[in-house]
A and B are shown apart, each in its own frame.
Chain A
Amino acid sequence: MAATTATAGRGLLRFITCGSVDDGKSTLLGRLLYDAGTVPDDQLAALARDSRRLHADAGDALDFALLTDGLDAEREQGITIDVAWRYFHTARRSFIVADCPGHEQYTRNMATGASNAELAVVLVDARKGLLPQTRRHTYICALLGIRQVVLAVNKMDLVDCDRASFEAIAAEYRELAQSLGIAEVQCLPVVAPDGDNVGSRSSRMPWYAGPSLLELLESADAAPLRAGDFRMPVQWVNRPDQSFRGYAGTICGGRVAKGDEVIVQPGVQRARIECIVTADGELDSAGAGQAVTLCLDREIDVSRGDVIADALRPAPVADQFACHLLWLGDAALLPNRTYWLKLGTRTVNARVMSIKHKVDVNSQAKLAARQLLLNEVGYCTLGLDDEIAFEAYADNRTLGGFILIDRQSNATVACGMLDFALGRSANVHWQHVDIDKGVRASSKGQQPLCLWFTGLSGAGKSTVANLVERRLHALGCHTYLLDGDNVRHGINRDLGFTPQDRVENIRRIAEVAHLMVDAGLIVLVSAISPYRSERRSARELFAAAEFMEVFVDAPLEECERRDPKGLYRKARAGAIRNFTGIDAPYERPEAPEIHLLSGAQRAEQLAEQVVARVLATLDGGTDD
């Protein structure tokens, strides 16, 4: 059987279809499935039924788009919201096609489809030519690494199958694709509902002598990025008992053979491949795309997230990068906020240090930007809290592509494509010093500590922190009070109150507090610090016992009633914008070490609670 041989022996082509709304993309794909003979009779019957119900005036014509729009909302609105995956085969090969939505608001879903594709079919309407969406889709395809595009100029029947119209659109598109680095472009004229040049050549357009869409897809180069040097991110350490230790993963570049010398990155330990284990027996060698288990000839430390690489040609290692980011979050990207970055099997903390520019995805113009909104693309510098082994995305999608995950909501908020490492990270090293935190702390006879007071403006943070410092000072402790307002006159004088500036404000305060703790001091930070994410990042700078979050909890009405600086009045009058509690959010701590109910007790009593906890901690801490 044709079907049997196709699926058993031929390579797989993963491609996407994309194009503007109403260009007939779903119809084209439905027609392609129909022409390939892969729509079963019962689905055809349902299609005929649905076509008649939704298009009472169209007689018995089939609406092929209904084959691919799967969600209720999509059928109601007649648009594609999310990627639909379809599977078909011909006598020559098997296909996985991702039908991608055209609306700008669903760009993230289109990128989802494009990330695993080797080829894109881009549709345009012959009457309209290239639209901003065509440019956007082509840009996203190029961004996600697709290097082959088929341009299908649809609805040719509505321009009388005119050759000149087709040629003009094709020429304009080739120019666009070339400017975006898409190496291979094939253009063809089609009439999707009738199948002209879809499954077979069209008799209406004898001037077109090229292959049909199906023929093009059958002959396209499907080879994914399998060249390059050997790389395998470790997914799982396989250790059933004392006698076996193997490292399981999917090879994402090059080949490896028994006896090869490898390096475990980002470290520098080397070993040789003792064997390549699979459930079907050991292999002499294995290549990209294979899921294997590698055993090494000596015991070295390897864990999930490490990359096993060719020792002679290891992957570059760095912690700062230039990259493209496609922002997917409903909330804007905030530079300097910490997100989780997952690349291959490795997860590390990362922050966007700066947005060099954003890219207008419709015109590819570079624009200045301080933040990125949903579906915007930016060229950014990225800093990680640890080094990783990587490749440029253009060379290796697995080791060059990453996602960012919001640490509060766990949402996938960005996908990114690494470009190159920033030289700085390779050249800036930690300078070793002999006098360390322990030495400095013991000369002061105390355990260093950071007390982080958070709460609304007017909740009493500074008042309580001031009282606590006076008590600790009287007890002979070496302290420093970092007040959020005071800091804004100096180190943070360049920052305002936008979300991105608040993030940077807290990051700097936390870094300064960290230096002071390192110097052996007990540091009291008093700052609204409205975001959980940044308080968490601050906490992570310190050892567990060194950081105590003190939530000075007063109801907003109480703070507004007190209004010691008259700020709430101004905010209510509209004279101050982005004021926490009024038109900017305050995210309450979920598990503070100390929770002070500020309305219920006097400041002295609240300070006493804090001092008692600090002394208990310091006492407990002197034993070790």
Chain B
Amino acid sequence: MARIDGARYAPRKSLGFLSHMSTDNTPTHSHLDDLEAESIHIFREVAASFRHPVMLYSIGKDSSVLLHLLRKAFYPARPPLPLLHVDTTWKFREMIAFRERVAAEGDVQVLVHINQDGVRQGISPLTHGATVHTDIMKTQALKQALDRHGFDAAIGGARRDEEKSRAKERVFSFRNAQHRWDPKRQRPEFWHTFNTRIRQGESVRVFPLSNWTEMDVWLYIRREAIPVVPLYFAAPRPVVARDGALIMVDDERFTLREGEAVEMRQVRFRTLGCYPLTGAVESSADTLDKIIAEMADSRSSERQGRVIDHDPAASMERKKQEGYF
């Protein structure tokens, strides 16, 4: 029997979104439907093939989409894997509040890991710089967390359109026991038939959003009414112009340099990370429609606001080899 009499599973309210269905209840096969189905397939393959999978949750828009797809993939069951947030202690306060709201929904476990060694050393992006901070509080912290929990598959929200070395990465990306990525020896990957075999201590990083673009992510957020951190929407915020970027003053740890002044400007963020390393853009886009319209006109790429990416060209490839997500 498929189900016991009378037990009907109503779609979750927050997931139910029927406006893209035509009236005869058959979906119109759009580009977003293809991407959604592909991502769900990938989620299910992870859950069925690994002993201890986890989803890396960074609180950003891509993570919001991932979480939504995770819930859809296993509906009506609860997601069979936990979320892990690697907290650098320098995230925007609104991000942490958003994370707590997600955890409070109760259908999915949210794990938080902070590199306590780094905290003891007082690692800060303001004093140690972006590279050291990111290495210790993100890359090393992530490896600590994966080792501590013994996760054998870590799902992330990276997309191939973000950056050139990401454009070369497989959907199931193999990592050796030291978490290293070897770009010259990637496993070939055919169709949607993924090789999920690994040995003890090895792991894979899995990217269900590999084939999504930034525009797809926003269109999908609008279509599915997915909640995102309010920092993506334009609002008056206190910012400082520093090294060519607009940095938001999010707490008292941010100290002004000589000649700097805090001013209120109408800004929003295209990506979210550690607040001292994340540049805002001036914008009046305070709704999803306006964000999408702004993006369609945009002549700059998404990660431009990331201070960490502005190392010599191809630096992402090096960071990824060392275990950065």
Of the listed stretches A401-409, A574-582, A596-604, chain B binds A401-409
Closest to B167 in A: A84
Q: Contact at B37–A401, with CB atoms within 8 Å? A: no
Q: Give chain A residues whose Cβ lies under 8 Å from the Cβ of B198.
A: 410
Interchain Cβ contacts within 8 Å, total number: 229
* Nearest CB on B from A62, distance (A): 16
Q: Contact at A2–B296, with CB atoms within 8 Å? A: yes
Majority secondary structure, B binding face: loop
- B residues contacting A by CB (< 8 A) are 1-4, 7, 9, 11-12, 15-18, 21, 24-27, 29-34, 36-37, 40-41, 44-45, 47-48, 71-78, 160-161, 164-165, 167-168, 183-184, 186-193, 195, 197-199, 210-211, 213, 215-216, 219, 292-293, 295-301, 304, 313-314, 317-318
Q: Contact at A42–B48, with CB atoms within 8 Å? A: no
Q: Give chain A residues whose Cβ lies under 8 Å from the Cβ of B161.
A: 86-87
Q: Contact at A280–B193, with CB atoms within 8 Å? A: no
Closest to A11 in B: B31
Q: Give chain B residues whose Cβ lies under 8 Å from the Cβ of A200.
A: none
A591 in contact (CB, < 8 A): no
Name the contact of B314 in the complex, choosing from A68, A70, A277 (C-beta under 8 A). A70
Q: Give chain A residues whose Cβ lies under 8 Å from the Cβ of B45.
A: 235, 345
Q: Give chain B residues whose Cβ lies under 8 Å from the Cβ of A304.
A: 48
Q: In whole angstroms, how far apart are the Cα atoms of A7 and B164 in the complex?
A: 22
* Nearest CB on A from B175, distance (A): 13
Known A7-B219, A278-B75; judge A112-B189 contact (CB<8 A): yes
Q: In whole angstroms, how far apart are the Cα atoms of A245 and B318 in the complex?
A: 45
A362 in contact (CB, < 8 A): no
* Nearest CB on A from B174, distance (A): 9
Nearest first, the 5 A-B pairs at minimum CB distance are A70-B164, A295-B2, A240-B77, A279-B75, A1-B296
Closest to B190 in A: A115
Known A82-B168, A291-B37, A412-B188; judge A401-B3 contact (CB<8 A): no
Q: Contact at A290–B37, with CB atoms within 8 Å? A: yes
A567 in contact (CB, < 8 A): no
Q: Contact at B77–A238, with CB atoms within 8 Å? A: yes
* Nearest CB on B from A284, distance (A): 5
Q: In whole angstroms, how far apart are the Cα atoms of A111 and B189 in the complex?
A: 9
A-B contact pairs, 29 of them (CB 8 A): A1-B297, A10-B31, A40-B301, A42-B301, A70-B164, A70-B165, A70-B168, A71-B183, A75-B313, A83-B168, A84-B164, A85-B160, A85-B168, A87-B160, A115-B190, A238-B77, A244-B2, A280-B21, A281-B16, A283-B25, A289-B29, A289-B34, A340-B197, A343-B193, A345-B45, A345-B48, A401-B193, A410-B197, A410-B199
Closest to A46 in B: B313
Name the contact of B2 in the complex, choosing from A8, A296, A398 (C-beta under 8 A). A296
Q: In whole angstroms, how far apart are the Cα atoms of A70 and B314 in the complex?
A: 7
Known A8-B219, A238-B77, A290-B27; judge A245-B3 contact (CB<8 A): yes
Of the four ranges (under 10, 10 to 19, 20 to 34, 35 or more), the interface on chain A belongs to 35 or more
* Nearest CB on B from A237, distance (A): 9
Closest to B78 in A: A240
Known A46-B313, A70-B164, A284-B26; judge A415-B190 contact (CB<8 A): yes
Q: Give chain B residues whose Cβ lies under 8 Å from the Cβ of A108.
A: 188
A542 in contact (CB, < 8 A): no
Q: Contact at B160–A297, with CB atoms within 8 Å? A: no
A73 in contact (CB, < 8 A): yes
Q: Contact at A111–B190, with CB atoms within 8 Å? A: yes
Q: Give chain A residues whose Cβ lies under 8 Å from the Cβ of B47.
A: 236
Closest to A3 in B: B296
A59 in contact (CB, < 8 A): no
Q: Give chain A residues whose Cβ lies under 8 Å from the Cβ of B314.
A: 70-72, 75
Closest to A246 in B: B2
Closest to A94 in B: B31
User: Which chain A residues numbered 107 to 138 have a C-beta less than 8 Å away from chain B?
Assistant: 108-109, 111-112, 115-116
* Nearest CB on B from A550, distance (A): 25
Closest to B75 in A: A279
Q: Contact at B12–A279, with CB atoms within 8 Å? A: yes
Closest to A284 in B: B25
Q: In whole angstroms, how far apart are the Cα atoms of A279 and B47 in the complex?
A: 17
